[in-house]
Structure 1
Amino acid sequence: MDRGLSQTAFDAAPASAGGVTRTLRRRSTPARPLFETLPAAVAPRIQPSLERRRLWERRFRRRLDVTDAVSITLAAAAAAIVETGPIDTFADLAGPARIGMFVVGAWLTLLWLARTREPAVLGAGAAEYKRIGHATGLAFGILSTIFILAQLPGLRAQLLVAMPFGLVTLVFSRWLWRKWLIHERERGECVSRVIVAGARDDVEYVIEKLVGDPHHAYHVIGATTTDGLIDPIRVGDRGYPVIGSIRSTAAYGRATGADAIVVASTPDDDRDFVRRLGWELEGTAAELVLCNRLTDVAGPRLSLRPLDGLPLVQVKIPEFEGGIHAIKRGMDVVLSLLALVPILLLTPVIALAIKLDSPGPVLFHQLRVGRDGRQFWMIKFRTMVADAESSRDSLHAQNEGAGPLFKLKRDPRVTRVGAVLRKFSIDELPQFANVLRGDMSIVGPRPPLPAEVTAYDGTVYRRLYLKPGITGLWQISGRSDLSWEDSVRLDLRYVENWSIATDLMIMWRTAKVMVAPRGAY
């Protein structure tokens, strides 16, 4: 019962005591208003920082909506034209047009249900393309069932024409938008304005990773730390301001217009810090990102399992045999067979150029170390003079390679034709024969020399758990320009996190690196 109403009724009513009737005096204290609003119960409202973030996300998603619809409509229309063939009147297009509209609607619906335009995957590349592929496969699985049950015509054309054409067009359009988004982010647009919170060492580590992100998705505007110091955090040749204590992160985020908070670590004496910070950021930030030091663990190996309010991060342990490795081997065999056909056609031309440039054999055989430490002879087109190995010791003092690697940017042993072959990685084409033979894989760690392996420590030996590759993360990330530590880190990351999707991504990026080479000498 409402207190204000009950008290008024009580004051106005007569009361008796010992048979004597008397009237109670009305109290002078006014009752609380019936619909009074409690300030603490008011839901947080969207702040300008969050509205600014959502504005560019909405604009970008609308552009994706348009290009997705155009791509799918063109694919469905092409299938309808193939299905009908020559037409006499426009009435002949009515049936295929209805089927095409049905396909377009179902396809777009599945793209929406698969969250292919979520902010988390915008510009993410492989994750975005994977969702598009899953949505497309599911859409046509459902459509095939409906077509068969309803005995609708046009299924074959939609499967053989619309699905592959539409999928390729969708991925290509998303790739173009991703390039545009990265360009905008390089200009400082369409980025998340970030404050990094945590212990100073952890904040420095996270900032280093964020600013090194090739997608430029995060713009660090400052940091809050646990030590109470205001000295800037230096990463490379740039300093990032420390704007206050970690306990006031939300207030500083609101004052600076940050739309994302990255928690590098939490205060040791405050286990509820993250939950309270999430409450304080409501209406202000779009993201609260929690970091951990599980370095080089890729997303597919991580999963979140809530257990009675306790979020458990599960990390899948890598496996180095089984069905997925059989699929990788099958893909290696098929692709190497397809690649060797044009390579054999080009070999006479390349061989003639090598012979005319310098005397010696066309092919160069070098002993390398493969999976499980087994040695094999790797084949390449010769790019150096015939006696290059014997003159290596005299050039050892000029070595510019990192760690145990021997590299010279201007190696006098490289021939003129060899320099061209190296620049565009043509010298490595015969290695497809190594792949077919089973010594190598198309994608894998860099194949090391036996002398390099003898210098390995216990960690680096993990590079030998998989077959070495013609290409890999090391090749698309700078090749000879990489430090020894970076080369090892990339190889170990690949060994622990590889997948078929990762291999396809590396192959695609390798093709781009061959056209615009970097670090090849």
Structure 2
Amino acid sequence: MTRVAAYVADTGATRRSAGAVAIRLLPVTDALAVVSCLLFAHLARFGVGSGHDFLIDRFRVDYSAVTALTAVVWVGALYLLRPRDAFAFGRGAEDWRSALRASGAVFTGCAFLTMLLQLEPSRAFLLYAFPAGTVMVLASRWAWRRWVRLSVAESPRPTLVIGTAGEVERIERTLLADPLHGLRVVASVGDRSGEAMAPCDEDWFSEVRETARLHGVEAVVVGSLPTHATTASSAVGLRRLAWELEPEGVQLLLAPGLESVTPSRIDVLHFAESPVILVRQPSYAGGKYIGKRVLDVVLAVIGLIVTAPLMAAAACAIRREDGGRVFFRQQRVGVDGRPFTILKLRSMQEDADRALHGLAALNEADGPLFKVRADPRVTRVGRFLRRYSIDELPQLWNVLRGDMSIVGPRPPLPRETARYENSARRRLLVKPGLTGPWQVSGRSDLAWEEGLLLDLSYVENWSVSGDLRILAKTVRAVLSRTGAY
């Protein structure tokens, strides 16, 4: 048993109540979102006291009654399908899924009744009310999630970790990387020296129970149970562990070590009585790549138009400094190892490539990279361009041509790929990007292995929504100038 950190539970009431408060008030904010959107849609389409009627067979029903009934049914569906676990609220996707399921069920029900009874409702009313109402509900839930996560981050739950030395270290690192999940490791079960854990017997369960009580533990994260357990199987051991923790109200979480896999690639299947985790293989073709290409073209066109004056000013500054060429062209390696010519604003002296060999001893990067923080080849204007990544803007033309994407791994040099191991070559399964996870996480300050892990995770788990988040982070990274040299 290893004590990891001291813990002072001085605001436990806030920690324990944040999720419960959100669950309790969620129906109220859902109702406000739905009613406000339906009311606005009704007033925009029919006005106040307009007397518009909805025909049902030979009967006339005022649209006000239809709007009110829709609101009641929709709010009722959201209430019945609402998330109920206060601990899970803000930590999983059920908050979103329940809202989408409820809204989808109401919309489908309305469409079915319309076809069955051959009704002719106002299409303008429905086409505004349902999408806008769903967006408003999701926005209110996002606000609740954010409030809950910030609340638990200020007063994290004391957490016990069970597993091998490597698993305990991995789980601690994961929890520290995301404090908004509100878990803080205070103790662990497992020998950090690498020796096997104690047998999973009565004494072991008693020790876990007492440790949880001693440290006021509210969550237990399990990487693995002892492999030489005296119980029939690990499943039986987990069930027994849950029984031991139940009287104390302690949450039990399993951490199977899928750090580089996003939730969108994970499903839980059930074979007989046993849950099985399905990890979908990454896809490098198909419909979502069409969406990515459309996004690339749109953003590249907009970017070239918006930044044209800035690039023109930079070009004038480059010519004025030394009279040399404005653009720098260089061979890079793209998707599937295909070479292409990258375009940049020149930030170095004209003979920079010839001077490279003389600077080998100054290299500050590890792996196949070459980086010098105070590179003597960089010009005065070039240093400013690099600081704000202005020299990268012409690569929007590469994006428009299809050589690159707006978001992706950094485009490597041929000499770098020549030194790649098999794992690093997976970076070439997608198009290189103008920005990417490496650039928003420290840029040149990152070690090769750290950046490689970020890129490999992106390659296997990328999504359009994830690309948009990276773009938003890029603005902050450029303004902060961290790792830019």
TM above 0.5, yes or no, is yes
1:281 partner SS: helix
Q: CA deviation at 1:482?
A: 2.0
Task: Give the aligned residue type for 1:122.
Answer: F
TM-score, structure 1 length as denominator? 0.74
2:246 partner SS: coil
Please list the CA deviations of residues 75-107 of structure 1 after superposition, one character each: whole Å capped at 9, or x if unmatched: 32332232125x5x5877995554444444444
Contact 1:445 1:467 in 2 (8 A): yes
Higher mean alpha-carbon deviation, 262-271 vs 394-403, is at 394-403
Higher mean alpha-carbon deviation, 461-470 vs 405-414, is at 405-414
Higher CA-based Rg: 1
Contact 2:410 2:435 in 1 (8 A): yes
Question: Residue 71 of structure 1 aligns with which residue?
Answer: 33
Distance 2:271 2:428 in 1: 37
Higher mean alpha-carbon deviation, 280-289 vs 168-177, is at 168-177
Distance 2:83 2:329 in 1: 47
Q: CA deviation at 1:278?
A: 0.9
With over 3 angstroms needed to count, the CA separation of the structure-2 counterparts of 1:73 and 1:482, relative to structure 1, is farther
Task: Give the aligned residue type for 1:251.
Answer: E
With over 3 angstroms needed to count, the CA separation of the structure-2 counterparts of 1:223 and 1:350, relative to structure 1, is same
Which of 172, 179, 199 lines up with 1:207 in the alignment?
172
Which of 240, 257, 275 lines up with 1:311 in the alignment?
275
Where do 1:293-312 residues align within 5 Å?
A: 293-312=257-276
Where do 1:10-49 residues align within 5 Å?
A: none
Q: CA deviation at 1:218?
A: 1.2
Is 1:406 equivalent to 2:373 in the alignment? Answer: no
Contact 2:153 2:179 in 1 (8 A): no
Which of 124, 140, 147 lines up with 1:156 in the alignment?
124
Is 1:273 equivalent to 2:237 in the alignment? Answer: yes
Question: Residue 90 of structure 2 aligns with which residue?
Answer: 123
Question: Residue 3 of structure 1 aligns with which residue?
Answer: none
Distance 2:284 2:85 in 1: 33
Question: Residue 29 of structure 1 aligns with which residue?
Answer: none
Where do 1:210-225 residues align within 5 Å?
A: 210-225=175-190
Where do 1:239-258 residues align within 5 Å?
A: 248-258=207-217
Q: CA deviation at 1:132?
A: 4.7
2:185 partner SS: strand
With over 3 angstroms needed to count, the CA separation of the structure-2 counterparts of 1:346 and 1:208, relative to structure 1, is closer
1:215 partner SS: helix
Contact 1:224 1:246 in 2 (8 A): no
Which of 104, 107, 123 lines up with 1:140 in the alignment?
107
Please list the CA deviations of residues 424-474 of structure 1 after superposition, one character each: whole Å capped at 9, or x if unmatched: 544434333323322223332222111211111122111112222233322
Deviating 4+ runs (over 6 angstroms):
49-53, 90-94, 227-230
Q: CA deviation at 1:496?
A: 2.3
Please list the CA deviations of residues 279-299 of structure 1 after superposition, one character each: whole Å capped at 9, or x if unmatched: 111142352122224442332
2:264 partner SS: helix
Does 1 or 2 have the higher relative contact order (CA < 8 Å, sep 6+)? 2
Is 1:442 equivalent to 2:425 in the alignment? Answer: no
Which residues of structure 2 form unaligned runs of 5+?
A: 1-10, 54-60, 196-202
Distance 2:284 2:22 in 1: 40
With over 3 angstroms needed to count, the CA separation of the structure-2 counterparts of 1:348 and 1:362, relative to structure 1, is farther
Please list the CA deviations of residues 331-387 of structure 1 after superposition, one character each: whole Å capped at 9, or x if unmatched: 323442354135224313422233225344443322211121111112334444444
Q: CA deviation at 1:489?
A: 0.9
Question: Residue 495 of structure 1 aligns with which residue?
Answer: 459
With over 3 angstroms needed to count, the CA separation of the structure-2 counterparts of 1:384 and 1:124, relative to structure 1, is farther
Task: Give the aligned residue type for 2:151.
Answer: E
Task: Give the aligned residue type for 1:450.
Answer: P
With over 3 angstroms needed to count, the CA separation of the structure-2 counterparts of 1:171 and 1:310, relative to structure 1, is closer
Q: CA deviation at 1:117?
A: 6.9
Task: Give the aligned residue type for 1:400.
Answer: E
Where do 1:269-418 residues align within 5 Å?
A: 269-270=228-229, 271=233, 272-321=236-285, 323=286, 326-357=287-318, 358=321, 359-414=323-378, 418=382
1:196 partner SS: strand
Task: Give the aligned residue type for 2:89.
Answer: L
Where do 1:52-201 residues align within 5 Å?
A: 55-85=17-47, 87=48, 89=49, 95=62, 97-112=64-79, 115=82, 118-119=85-86, 122-124=89-91, 129=96, 132=99, 136-147=103-114, 149=116, 151=119, 153-159=121-127, 161-187=128-154, 189=155, 191-201=156-166
Contact 2:19 2:148 in 1 (8 A): no
1:364 partner SS: strand
Q: CA deviation at 1:487?
A: 0.9
Contact 1:398 1:408 in 2 (8 A): yes
Contact 2:23 2:83 in 1 (8 A): no
1:58 partner SS: helix
**Aligned residue pair count:** 452
Contact 1:442 1:470 in 2 (8 A): yes
Q: CA deviation at 1:274?
A: 1.3
Where do 1:459-478 residues align within 5 Å?
A: 459-478=423-442
With over 3 angstroms needed to count, the CA separation of the structure-2 counterparts of 1:146 and 1:453, relative to structure 1, is same
2:483 partner SS: coil
TM-score, structure 2 length as denominator? 0.78
Distance 2:261 2:359 in 1: 39
Q: CA deviation at 1:196?
A: 0.5
Contact 1:333 1:435 in 2 (8 A): no
2:180 partner SS: coil
Distance 1:131 1:504 in 2: 24
1:519 partner SS: coil
Contact 1:226 1:245 in 2 (8 A): no
With over 3 angstroms needed to count, the CA separation of the structure-2 counterparts of 1:414 and 1:106, relative to structure 1, is farther
Contact 1:224 1:245 in 2 (8 A): no
Distance 1:82 1:267 in 2: 64
Which residues of structure 1 form unaligned runs of 5+?
A: 1-48, 231-243
Contact 1:226 1:267 in 2 (8 A): no
